[in-house]
Amino acid sequence: MFERIREDIKVVFERDPAAKNVLEVILCYPGLHAVIGYRIAHFFYEKKMFVIARLISHVVRFLTGIEIHPGARIGRRLFIDHGMGVVIGETTEIGDDVTIYQGVTLGGTGKEKGKRHPTIGNRVVIAAGAKVLGSFEVGDEAKIGAGAVVLRPVPAGATVVGVPGRVVARYGRRVPGIDLNHQNLPDPVQSALEALSHRIEELEERLESLEKDSEARCLIS
């Protein structure tokens, strides 16, 4: 456990340029506090000391604003940036080197028993406010855009945006029919509205042309 904690501290410096020194990270990073608290709670959960595990989780939630169920399975070097409002459900599984931003929910979609939360692969990035809901897999190196609501499996290397979430790229290459520029994630709804607006302009131009032709014929006659 202590080896994992050392890794969790080290990863803050790798992924957050604002981190200045170890003391600052230990004292002032709620994401780190939440992960350490989870690892302690998970230890008791594995020993079937459920009340103690949930009590630790509850205290950590009160202190950090981050709720991680002690039954979740989390790999190495998880980095939660800022973290307020993050919720990770009981049967969630998270791989190694995952990055999660504030407001993310890894939740279920009903009251069913058993596996009801997502499985997150390695090196996945889940941006602010994203909701990943249900028992399915998010493949390695996937990226979930801010505010996306993901309800279906995500292939490895995919970029997902929108409500509901849509795959717009695989390993940096655009999916046909969706424009993906290099700096900003695309908005499929906006793209559809722009295409519709362009089509309306074309129709208006054709209508204007037909009206002019009709007026010219009237003058000739």
CA max distance for the chain: 96
- Tell me the per-residue pLDDT of 163-198, one tens digit each, with 9 for 90 and over: 888 888 777 666 655 443 433 555 666 777 888 888
**Residue type for position 54:** R
- Tell me the per-residue pLDDT of 150-161, one tens digit each, with 9 for 90 and over: 999 999 988 898
The confidence score (pLDDT) of residue 178 equals 43
- Tell me the per-residue pLDDT of 25-57, one tens digit each, with 9 for 90 and over: 899 999 999 999 999 999 999 999 999 999 999
Between 109 and 98, residue with greater pLDDT: 98
Q: What's the rounded mean pLDDT across residues 70-77?
A: 92
Contact 31, 83 (CB under 8 A): yes
The confidence score (pLDDT) of residue 189 equals 67
Q: Is the pLDDT of residue 213 over 70?
A: yes
The confidence score (pLDDT) of residue 175 equals 60
Question: Tokens for 41?
Answer: 């709670």
* 154 vs 121: CA distance, rounded Å: 10
The confidence score (pLDDT) of residue 181 equals 43
Q: List 125's β-bridge partners, or say none.
A: 99, 143
The confidence score (pLDDT) of residue 57 equals 94
